[in-house]
Amino acid sequence: MFIEERLKKQLDFSLEIDKEKNIFRQTHLSGHGRNENDAEHAWHMAIMAYLLREHANEEVDITRVILMCLIHDIVEIDAGDTYAYDTEQQKSQKEREEKAKQRIFSLLPEDQRSELMALFDEFENAQTPESKFAHAMDNLQPLLLNNSNEGGDWKEHGVTAEQVYRRQGMTKAGSEVLYELTDRILQENIRKGNLKE
C-alpha cells in the first residue's frame, strides 16, 4: 500500500504512542479505582490546564501548555513510569528518558521531530511560564485523585508530608493560587491522618 513518506512517518508515530496507554502510574482513579495510565493522566492534565489557565502566575500560550501536557510522558513508553518518591529509580531516569526521546520522536518527519523534542525539553527544564504551569497540572491532577481517595496512594507508599511538599515548588512556580489550594488540601489530609507528618 503506497503512503507518501511524510504521512507515513506521522502515522508510524501516531501508532507508536498508542503504547503509552499501557504505562501505568502509582495514582489510582477516583472512586478507589484501578491504577491510572499515562495517556489518561495526560488527557486529564490537558483539560485541567485549559480550564484553570486563569490561575497561572503569568499569561500562558495555552496551546503550548496543552501540547506539553499531552506529550510529556511519551518517553515513558521506553523508560517506564518513575514514581515521584522513588529516589533509587530517579537516578537513572534522565538517561533512560533521553534515550527514549531520541528513538520515539525520531519516528516523525524532521520538522515535527524537532518541534516535539523542543516542547518536551521545555517541559523538562521548567523555565518558561507554559512549562511551569504544565508542571502545576502534573502535580495537581494526581493530587485531586489521591485526595478523592482519602490519600490512598500516599498511604500505600508511606509517603510523608515533607516529601509531598518538596514537589509542590513546581506548582507554586506555575500558580500561586493552585499552590494555596494544594496547601489546604495537604493540611486537611495531614489532619485526617491520610498523610503522615
Q: Report the residue number, 89 or 183, with the smaller CB distance to a second copy.
A: 183
Whole-number minimum distance, CB 160 to a second copy, in Å?
21
Residue 161: what residue type?
A
> Identity (one letter) of the amino acid at 139?
N
Nearest approach in angstroms of CB 44 to a second copy is 7
Q: Position of cell 530517579?
A: 90
Binding residues for a second copy (CB under 8 A): 1-3, 7, 10-11, 13-15, 17-19, 21-22, 29-31, 33, 36-37, 39-40, 42-44, 46-48, 50-52, 55, 62-63, 66-67, 70-71, 108, 112, 141, 144-145, 148, 177, 181, 184-185, 188
* Nearer to a second copy (CB atom), residue 103 or residue 184: 184
15/92 with CB nearer a second copy: 15
